[in-house]
Chains A and B, each alone.
Chain A
């Protein structure tokens, strides 16, 4: 029997942003368990360091503390990742800022910060991976974590929605440009997943609101693990013929 586990990622080096918590953390742990070596990036140094306790021994993990709103610094950040762990096969961009900001209180600095981390950093990481100095040359895969909020709307979510919708659009065009180099580009659009980011939002709700939002998901709220499984599927050879697409992982939220 060939193809014993097509999800295996042995010998591949993947950069994961937002790796200290939530979806990024589960993703990093999952890809590492499948055999990938990692460059994990986050602002939160202690959060990154706490990954060690959950990682299995073996393939390497290089921690890089960085604030991704510093777009100009990303090229150098990626160079450090390559210097530490070798050329990259993939990038998974999980870092994201989610803030409820009614449009009348929206300040230009606020939405630019959201856009920088959620969207512009993604583009910069994609641009970096396409460089010969960075890309390992085969099995290339980029996954951006977008959101169902990129496809449907919600009052107060203007900046977040547009930052996530932009990722879906970016993946479509970037996938065409990078296909000749064997790099696939896709998004995963989660619904409401129990993460620290989500809990911030949840705290603003009363019980009736919480119940109403949960009821929008025919399968209830999701776990970061659910998204991490989908990332693994897209990064591995199982996603070999998938590019320019958005995989919705939302417990049925958008089907309603």
Chain B
């Protein structure tokens, strides 16, 4: 197979080292070149090796809580690999269940940085002509149904996901028609991020009861993101797409 002409186009997936991001990376790897972002270089590399044609994909280890250095790190990475980004999927998220009294402002800022501000900053950078040649056409944020509902111990997570959805809508309006922007709102999916929640048998049992279709799989979210990224969704922008096994429709949950 002959090498494609440089620069090559990529889809950037944050939070790709585990959970939904990892599943998405593996699933999209047949169709797209990927830039895989995560904190842990070793686990990112494992994701890359699990992808189809691992040599086509690039790992970009960067902790998104460190949002201020993105403005130098991301353009440098893209230059180094002669890469242009056509699609951006923000899966990275921090979730720590904490009662309000235990929350510090530093923790809250950390959560906002990873879950929201990194999405804003990466989008801003990818729309700069000198960084990405106006190649970005598609953005999907993995939000959560926690952007719509409250839950005990979820203050920072709920606030960050609601902010992410607000950001999504504003971007959808501002960037149309050149760039489509949507979010997917998953209910409870079993991933390393939610493992501590499912570790408590009482909570786990309650959760299963709350979900008319049971607990979801990462692939359920991947399918939704894949659809939104495709031309089949060419007229969908600014939408919060709920993928939650019926949880939000369930008044008795």
Contact = CB atoms under 8 A, between A and B. Distances in A.
Interface of A: 1, 6, 171-173, 175-176, 179-180, 184, 218-220, 222-223, 226, 229-230, 232-233, 238-245, 247-252, 254-256
Contacts of B241: 245, 247
Given A179-B213, A252-B173, A242 B242 contact: yes
Contacts of B30: 1
B77 interface: no
A179 B237 CA distance: 29
A243 B246 contact: yes
17 contacts: A6-B223, A171-B249, A175-B246, A218-B172, A218-B177, A226-B236, A230-B233, A238-B226, A240-B220, A240-B223, A241-B220, A243-B249, A244-B249, A251-B236, A252-B172, A252-B173, A252-B176
A255 B177 contact: no
Contact of A219 (B212, B237, B245): B237
Nearest to A218: B176
Interface in B147-202: 169, 172-173, 176-177, 180
A37 to B, nearest CB: 22
B213 A245 contact: no
Give me the 5 closest cross-chain CB pairs, A-B, nearest first: A255-B238, A244-B249, A218-B176, A179-B212, A241-B220
A239 B227 CA distance: 10
Given A176-B249, A184-B213, A244-B212, A238 B237 contact: no
Contacts of A249: 233, 235-236, 239
A255 B172 contact: yes
Interface of A (DSSP majority class): mixed
B85 interface: no
B212 A176 contact: yes
A180 B224 CA distance: 23
Given A219-B237, A248-B236, A251-B235, A241 B217 contact: yes
Given A219-B176, A238-B227, A241-B213, A179 B239 contact: no
B235 A244 contact: no
A6 B237 CA distance: 23
Given A250-B235, A252-B237, 18 more contacts: A172-B249, A218-B238, A226-B234, A229-B233, A232-B232, A233-B232, A241-B216, A242-B220, A243-B249, A244-B212, A244-B249, A247-B239, A248-B236, A251-B236, A252-B172, A254-B238, A255-B237, A256-B238
Contacts of B242: 242, 245
A90 to B, nearest CB: 16
B231 to A, nearest CB: 9
Interface string B203-247: 000000000110011001001101100001111111101111110
Contacts, number: 111
Contact of A244 (B172, B180, B250): B250
B123 interface: no
Contacts of B173: 218, 252, 255-256
B220 A175 contact: no
Nearest to A238: B223
Contacts of B223: 6, 233, 238-240
Nearest to A182: B213
B177 A245 contact: no
Contacts of A252: 172-173, 176, 237-238
Interface string B130-158: 00000000000000000000000000000
A229 B232 contact: yes
Contacts of A232: 232
Contacts of A179: 212-213, 246
Nearest to B177: A219
A176 B244 contact: no
Contacts of B232: 229-230, 232-233
Contact of A255 (B227, B239, B249): B239
B94 interface: no
A178 to B, nearest CB: 9
A255 B216 CA distance: 27
Contacts of A251: 176, 235-237
